[in-house]
Every structure is written in C-alpha cells, then in structure tokens.
Amino acid sequence: MARIPWSVAVPPEVYCEYCRVTMREYHTDPAAQMEVQLRRPEILHERYGLPLRRGLAPDFTTYLTGSVFGLTFEVFEDQVPAPPGHPIASIEQAAALTVPTDISQAGYFPQALDFYDWMKGHAPESVSVGFSGGSQAPFTTAVLLRGEGFLLDLIDQPALAHGFLQTLTESSIQQREFAAWVVGAPAVGAPASSRQPFAVGAPAPSRQMPSDYHSSQDTVGFTDDYGGLLGPNRYYDFDVQYMLQIAAHFGATRQTIHTELLRKPHLAVLQEHGWCYIDVGTDPYLTITDCREVLHIPFLVQMKTSPEMLLSTPDAIRARYREMVAEGAASMLVELCRGVPEENIRAFIEVAREYE
C-alpha cells in the first residue's frame, strides 16, 4: 500500500471555540491571540494524538495584503472577520494608486507589528515568532479592493486594469520583503550571521525597511481564491504573469499555490509556467481524476469541509477517504469548521493512519 501523507487544518475560529476565546478577543488582544496559538497544538495532541507543532505569528488574515490600499475588515464577537465593502470606487482611482513608501505604517501593518512586538516579548523561549505579508495574489487582492466591477474593468479598461495589477504586484513584493526583514532574513549576498532584524519595541520611524534591502526565497507561495473567476484565456494575462513577477523578484525555484474555482485549463497554465505544487482546496469544479489527467506535478484536492465532514458520518468519511485514495490522491487534507463531531474527526484520522 502506498504511503499517503495527511493533515488536519484547523482555522482560528475553531481553535477559539476550543479555547473558549471569542473571535473579537483573538483579533484585538495579542495576549489572547498568543494563548490560542500556543494552546491549539496541545488540544489537538491531547484529543487526537496529532503531532505537536509550535509557532506564533500575528494573524491579521489575508486581508492584510490589501489593507495598505484601504481594505478593512470588521471584527465580530464570535464570527470570522469580513470586509464591510470594497474601498475603491473606480478603475481610474485604482490605476492612480502607488505603493506606500513605508509599509510599516500602512494598513494593518502597524497593529500587526504591535502584536509581533508583544509576542516576541512574551513567547516561551522555545517558540519562534514569525511575520508574513503579501501572500495574496494580485488578482484576488484587486477583486477584494474593487469588487465585481473589476471583472468588467478587464474588458472595458484593460490598460488601467493592468496598471492596477502592476501596483498590487509591487506592493506584494514590498510586503514580502518587509516580512523577511522583520524576522531577520539576511539580505542577498550577506551571511546569515549578519542579519539584523528591526528592533522590537523601537519607535515607529525605525521600523522602516532599508531601501536597499533585498532577500531571496527558494519557495514563493500564493493564495488566489478568486483566480478561477477568470476564463482560461485571460488567466495568464491578468493573474499568472503577476505572480510570476513576484517569484522572479525573489529568485524562487519553487512556486506553490492554494486556489479555488479553477477548471482543468487553468491547471495546465499553472503547470506550463513552472508551478511545482497546486492545492485546489475544495474546488467544486475539479476532481482528483481531473487533476491527474492534466498534472504531472504534486497536487492536493481537499476533502469537502461541509458535506464530507460536518454533515457526514464516521463510516461515510472512511469510505470517502478510501475512494479518494483509489482515485489517485497522493496526499490528503481536511479543513475543519465549527461543529464537526469529534467522532467524525477521529474517523478521518483513523483511516488516514491506515495509509501511513
């Protein structure tokens, strides 16, 4: 029997439920956020025997990427944060945007840095603290900022749409560079021993990244849940080429992506342009067979969170897992949501261990 790697993804709202911390507390209090992130692997280890993995990072959702251009999100008492709307009213306004000169002072980055400071000052010595930014693909960020109108802009004003996407690409690069600098990644050509991260707790002006800082990254990953809104004939021009610019900037030799809503022709475009791993999530339009017919690179089709876990039974979960393996799954993952019965989670883990 072939070995099938597997994992269980647990989003913050489920961890908050386990820890009896509200979503408002988690997203507004660094102490609460750190408590949940420290406690989460212990809970999964105690309940289900999953391995202990410990690490911290400020969690301002993927909306952090677009926040430097005015995207905000509402924090609710016990629901997942969500944007109240799209802040950019026209493609002309979008095309006129420029990348902030100081990322540390833009959008939610000041709050994220405050959380980072707090975590660095209070985390156990054995626990690393990370920082991230710019992981969202430019096209998905554009849709969040401009709304469905951006899909019409591509047709009516393609030159302005490309100008907007180019600005978002340059912003993503700056955000990723800033995140690398915050955690002390060495600049290109500098020895690791020379890395000098920004000073935790320092006054705001010292948080500005040096203008000549440039890091390298072997692997560049993207989240691009809206990419599939584009037809395959426009997918490269308005989405893929901008992700490629980001990867080229860092000299990446590996490109990975989590995406949704794709069809088979989109997969071929990604593979043709050098992606080495594609996670299509719970894409309703793709099966494992579809991916196998197109791809000769590793891929992941996730088990469906709601119909195949939340609303299922232990026996049905075991049967579905085996069906997916028989169909050709080379790895397996499920993302939980609130309310999934413990017996369903245990059934997934039990059948997964049969293929270890």
- Residues near 113 by beta carbon (within 8 Å), at least 6 away in sequence: 58, 104, 182, 207
pLDDT in tens, 331-350: 999 999 999 999 999 999 99
Question: Does the pLDDT value for residue 51 go beyond 90?
Answer: no
pLDDT of amino acid 207:
79
If you write DSSP's letter for every residue of 71-92 in order, what string do you get? ---BPPSSS--B-SS-----HH
Question: Does the pLDDT value for residue 18 go beyond 60?
Answer: yes
Over range 197-214, report the average pLDDT.
Answer: 76
pLDDT of amino acid 55:
87
Whether residue 267 contacts residue 234, with contact meaning beta carbons closer than 8 Å, is answered with no
Backbone torsion region of residue 189, taken as left when φ is above 0, otherwise alpha when ψ lies between -120 and 50, otherwise beta: left
Which of 46-50, 169-173, 230-234 has the lowest average pLDDT? 46-50
Start-end of H helices in the chain: 12-19, 23-28, 30-48, 64-67, 91-95, 109-122, 138-146, 149-156, 158-182, 232-235, 241-249, 264-272, 288-294, 314-327, 342-353
Kindly compute the dihedral angle of the four CA atoms of residues 36, 38, 40, 41, in this order, to the nearest 10 degrees: 170
Which of 51-55, 90-94, 104-108, 318-322 has the lowest average pLDDT? 51-55
- Judge residue 71's burial from the number of C-beta atoms within 10 Å of its C-beta, 0-12 exposed, 13-18 middle, 19 or more buried: buried
| 68 band by pLDDT with thresholds 50, 70 and 90 | very high
pLDDT of amino acid 47:
87
pLDDT in tens, 212-260: 999 999 999 999 999 999 999 999 999 999 999 999 999 999 999 999 9
Distances from the Cα of 96 to the Cα of 69, 150, 174, 196, 201, angstroms: 11, 15, 18, 35, 34
Over range 12-18, report the average pLDDT.
Answer: 93
Mean pLDDT of the chain, nearest integer: 93
Question: Does the pLDDT value for residue 204 go beyond 70?
Answer: no
Model pTM above 0.75 = yes
Domains of the chain: 55-186 (3.20.20.210)
Closest CA to 301 of 54, 1, 6: 6
Angstrom distance (rounded) from CA 198 to CA 213:
12
Beta sheet of 254-259, edge-to-edge order: 219-224, 254-259, 277-279, 299-300
What φ, ψ does residue 107 adopt, rounded to 5°? Answer: 55, -135
pLDDT of amino acid 152:
97
Over range 10-32, report the average pLDDT.
Answer: 95
pLDDT of amino acid 271:
98
| 43 band by pLDDT with thresholds 50, 70 and 90 | confident
Angstrom distance (rounded) from CA 186 to CA 311:
48
